[in-house]
Amino acid sequence: MTGRSEDNLRRRIIETCLGMNRLGVNQGMAGNVSARLGDGLLITPSGMPYDAMKPADIVFLDADGQPHGERNPSSEWRFHYDILRHRGDAGAVLHAHAPFCTTLACLGREIPAFHYMVAVAGGDSVRCAPYATFGSQELSDNALTALDGRKACLLANHGMICIDRDLDAVLALAVEVETLARQYCQALQLGEPVILPAAEMRRVLEKFKTYGKQPAGS
Protein backbone atom coordinates (compact mmCIF):
# COMPACT_ATOMS: atom_id res chain seq x y z
CA MET A 1 0.00 0.00 0.00
CA THR A 2 1.45 3.36 -0.98
CA GLY A 3 1.67 6.34 1.34
CA ARG A 4 0.01 9.67 0.63
CA SER A 5 3.23 11.32 -0.59
CA GLU A 6 4.00 8.44 -2.95
CA ASP A 7 0.45 8.43 -4.29
CA ASN A 8 0.72 12.17 -4.91
CA LEU A 9 4.01 11.66 -6.77
CA ARG A 10 2.39 9.00 -8.95
CA ARG A 11 -0.38 11.45 -9.82
CA ARG A 12 2.13 14.21 -10.53
CA ILE A 13 3.99 11.94 -12.98
CA ILE A 14 0.75 11.40 -14.90
CA GLU A 15 0.04 15.15 -14.86
CA THR A 16 3.55 15.80 -16.20
CA CYS A 17 3.00 13.35 -19.06
CA LEU A 18 -0.31 14.97 -19.96
CA GLY A 19 1.36 18.37 -19.69
CA MET A 20 4.21 17.56 -22.07
CA ASN A 21 1.69 16.43 -24.69
CA ARG A 22 -0.55 19.45 -24.12
CA LEU A 23 2.42 21.80 -24.44
CA GLY A 24 3.62 20.19 -27.68
CA VAL A 25 6.79 18.69 -26.21
CA ASN A 26 5.60 15.16 -26.96
CA GLN A 27 2.93 13.30 -28.92
CA GLY A 28 0.79 10.24 -28.23
CA MET A 29 2.41 7.48 -26.18
CA ALA A 30 5.99 8.46 -27.07
CA GLY A 31 8.22 9.63 -24.27
CA ASN A 32 8.40 8.71 -20.58
CA VAL A 33 8.78 10.35 -17.20
CA SER A 34 10.33 9.31 -13.88
CA ALA A 35 10.83 10.77 -10.42
CA ARG A 36 13.10 9.81 -7.56
CA LEU A 37 11.47 8.00 -4.63
CA GLY A 38 13.74 7.07 -1.76
CA ASP A 39 16.49 4.77 -3.03
CA GLY A 40 14.49 3.97 -6.17
CA LEU A 41 12.25 5.71 -8.66
CA LEU A 42 8.75 5.82 -10.06
CA ILE A 43 8.41 5.58 -13.85
CA THR A 44 5.68 5.49 -16.45
CA PRO A 45 4.60 2.05 -17.75
CA SER A 46 5.40 0.78 -21.21
CA GLY A 47 3.06 1.55 -24.10
CA MET A 48 0.12 2.95 -22.14
CA PRO A 49 -1.83 6.10 -23.13
CA TYR A 50 -1.25 8.85 -20.61
CA ASP A 51 -4.91 9.74 -20.32
CA ALA A 52 -5.69 6.15 -19.36
CA MET A 53 -3.06 5.93 -16.61
CA LYS A 54 -3.98 5.55 -12.96
CA PRO A 55 -1.57 5.99 -10.04
CA ALA A 56 -1.31 2.21 -9.66
CA ASP A 57 -0.03 1.94 -13.25
CA ILE A 58 3.13 3.87 -12.39
CA VAL A 59 5.96 1.38 -11.80
CA PHE A 60 8.40 1.47 -8.89
CA LEU A 61 12.01 0.50 -9.63
CA ASP A 62 14.02 -0.35 -6.53
CA ALA A 63 17.69 0.46 -5.89
CA ASP A 64 18.71 -2.58 -7.96
CA GLY A 65 16.53 -1.58 -10.91
CA GLN A 66 13.96 -4.30 -10.24
CA PRO A 67 10.35 -3.36 -11.11
CA HIS A 68 7.44 -3.59 -8.69
CA GLY A 69 3.83 -3.06 -9.67
CA GLU A 70 1.07 -4.14 -11.99
CA ARG A 71 2.71 -2.97 -15.24
CA ASN A 72 6.00 -3.30 -17.09
CA PRO A 73 8.20 -0.19 -16.84
CA SER A 74 8.95 2.01 -19.82
CA SER A 75 11.28 0.43 -22.36
CA GLU A 76 13.64 3.33 -21.58
CA TRP A 77 13.85 2.55 -17.86
CA ARG A 78 17.62 2.00 -18.11
CA PHE A 79 18.60 5.60 -18.72
CA HIS A 80 16.09 6.85 -16.14
CA TYR A 81 17.60 4.47 -13.59
CA ASP A 82 21.20 5.27 -14.52
CA ILE A 83 20.66 9.04 -14.59
CA LEU A 84 18.99 9.14 -11.18
CA ARG A 85 21.66 6.82 -9.78
CA HIS A 86 24.57 8.94 -11.07
CA ARG A 87 23.11 12.45 -10.86
CA GLY A 88 22.38 13.43 -7.29
CA ASP A 89 21.14 16.84 -8.49
CA ALA A 90 18.30 15.23 -10.45
CA GLY A 91 14.95 14.42 -8.92
CA ALA A 92 13.07 13.86 -12.20
CA VAL A 93 13.80 12.76 -15.76
CA LEU A 94 11.70 13.54 -18.84
CA HIS A 95 12.22 11.92 -22.24
CA ALA A 96 10.21 13.09 -25.24
CA HIS A 97 10.13 12.95 -29.01
CA ALA A 98 9.87 16.73 -29.15
CA PRO A 99 9.40 17.75 -32.82
CA PHE A 100 12.19 20.32 -33.22
CA CYS A 101 14.63 18.61 -30.86
CA THR A 102 14.07 15.40 -32.79
CA THR A 103 14.56 17.20 -36.12
CA LEU A 104 18.01 18.33 -35.00
CA ALA A 105 18.74 14.91 -33.47
CA CYS A 106 17.98 13.24 -36.79
CA LEU A 107 20.66 15.45 -38.34
CA GLY A 108 23.09 14.63 -35.54
CA ARG A 109 23.21 18.35 -34.64
CA GLU A 110 23.58 19.78 -31.16
CA ILE A 111 22.03 23.09 -30.11
CA PRO A 112 24.99 25.50 -29.93
CA ALA A 113 25.17 28.86 -28.16
CA PHE A 114 23.16 30.69 -30.83
CA HIS A 115 21.12 32.25 -27.98
CA TYR A 116 22.14 32.94 -24.40
CA MET A 117 19.16 30.92 -23.08
CA VAL A 118 20.99 27.74 -24.13
CA ALA A 119 22.60 28.17 -20.70
CA VAL A 120 19.30 27.16 -19.08
CA ALA A 121 20.38 23.55 -19.78
CA GLY A 122 23.59 24.04 -17.82
CA GLY A 123 26.25 24.67 -20.45
CA ASP A 124 27.17 26.40 -23.70
CA SER A 125 25.40 23.77 -25.82
CA VAL A 126 22.80 21.03 -25.71
CA ARG A 127 24.84 18.05 -26.89
CA CYS A 128 23.56 15.31 -29.19
CA ALA A 129 24.34 11.80 -27.95
CA PRO A 130 25.35 9.20 -30.58
CA TYR A 131 22.64 6.84 -31.77
CA ALA A 132 21.99 3.55 -30.02
CA THR A 133 18.99 1.21 -30.01
CA PHE A 134 16.17 2.34 -27.72
CA GLY A 135 16.13 0.67 -24.33
CA SER A 136 19.77 -0.42 -24.58
CA GLN A 137 22.58 0.05 -22.08
CA GLU A 138 24.57 1.70 -24.86
CA LEU A 139 21.89 4.38 -25.21
CA SER A 140 21.95 4.95 -21.46
CA ASP A 141 25.75 5.27 -21.46
CA ASN A 142 25.64 7.70 -24.39
CA ALA A 143 22.99 9.81 -22.66
CA LEU A 144 24.97 9.98 -19.43
CA THR A 145 28.03 11.20 -21.31
CA ALA A 146 26.03 13.84 -23.21
CA LEU A 147 24.45 15.01 -19.94
CA ASP A 148 27.78 15.46 -18.17
CA GLY A 149 27.64 18.99 -16.75
CA ARG A 150 24.27 19.51 -18.46
CA LYS A 151 20.55 19.20 -17.69
CA ALA A 152 19.46 18.32 -21.23
CA CYS A 153 20.67 16.47 -24.29
CA LEU A 154 19.44 15.27 -27.65
CA LEU A 155 19.49 11.60 -28.67
CA ALA A 156 20.52 11.05 -32.29
CA ASN A 157 17.65 9.84 -34.49
CA HIS A 158 15.44 9.65 -31.42
CA GLY A 159 14.50 12.63 -29.23
CA MET A 160 15.56 14.50 -26.11
CA ILE A 161 16.14 14.06 -22.39
CA CYS A 162 15.81 16.67 -19.65
CA ILE A 163 16.66 16.31 -15.97
CA ASP A 164 15.93 18.66 -13.09
CA ARG A 165 15.20 18.87 -9.38
CA ASP A 166 11.51 17.94 -9.62
CA LEU A 167 8.66 17.30 -12.05
CA ASP A 168 7.59 20.94 -12.38
CA ALA A 169 11.14 22.04 -13.13
CA VAL A 170 11.84 19.27 -15.63
CA LEU A 171 8.68 20.00 -17.63
CA ALA A 172 9.52 23.71 -17.70
CA LEU A 173 13.05 22.89 -18.88
CA ALA A 174 11.73 20.61 -21.62
CA VAL A 175 9.55 23.46 -22.93
CA GLU A 176 12.58 25.81 -22.90
CA VAL A 177 14.81 23.33 -24.75
CA GLU A 178 12.16 22.58 -27.38
CA THR A 179 11.63 26.31 -27.88
CA LEU A 180 15.38 26.77 -28.39
CA ALA A 181 15.41 23.88 -30.88
CA ARG A 182 12.55 25.48 -32.82
CA GLN A 183 14.28 28.86 -32.88
CA TYR A 184 17.55 27.27 -34.01
CA CYS A 185 15.80 25.33 -36.80
CA GLN A 186 14.10 28.53 -37.96
CA ALA A 187 17.39 30.46 -37.90
CA LEU A 188 19.07 27.73 -39.96
CA GLN A 189 16.48 28.27 -42.70
CA LEU A 190 17.88 31.78 -43.21
CA GLY A 191 21.55 30.98 -42.79
CA GLU A 192 24.12 29.94 -40.23
CA PRO A 193 23.34 31.61 -36.89
CA VAL A 194 25.92 33.72 -35.07
CA ILE A 195 27.32 31.70 -32.14
CA LEU A 196 28.02 33.52 -28.89
CA PRO A 197 31.65 33.35 -27.77
CA ALA A 198 32.69 31.07 -24.92
CA ALA A 199 33.54 34.02 -22.65
CA GLU A 200 30.03 35.41 -22.98
CA MET A 201 28.45 32.04 -22.22
CA ARG A 202 30.63 31.77 -19.10
CA ARG A 203 29.24 35.13 -17.96
CA VAL A 204 25.69 33.99 -18.69
CA LEU A 205 26.18 30.70 -16.84
CA GLU A 206 27.45 32.63 -13.82
CA LYS A 207 24.40 34.90 -13.89
CA PHE A 208 22.14 31.85 -14.22
CA LYS A 209 23.27 30.66 -10.78
CA THR A 210 20.85 33.22 -9.32
CA TYR A 211 18.42 33.39 -12.27
CA GLY A 212 14.81 33.30 -11.11
CA LYS A 213 15.70 33.15 -7.42
CA GLN A 214 13.96 35.53 -5.04
CA PRO A 215 15.08 36.73 -1.59
CA ALA A 216 13.95 34.55 1.30
CA GLY A 217 10.55 35.57 2.60
CA SER A 218 9.52 37.41 -0.56
176 is catalytic: no
- Which residue out of 6, 76, 138, 200 is catalytically annotated? 76
Distance CA 115, CA 111 (A): 9
Cross-strand pairs, 42: 35, 60
Cross-strand pairs, 41: 36, 61
Catalytic residues, by residue number, are: 76
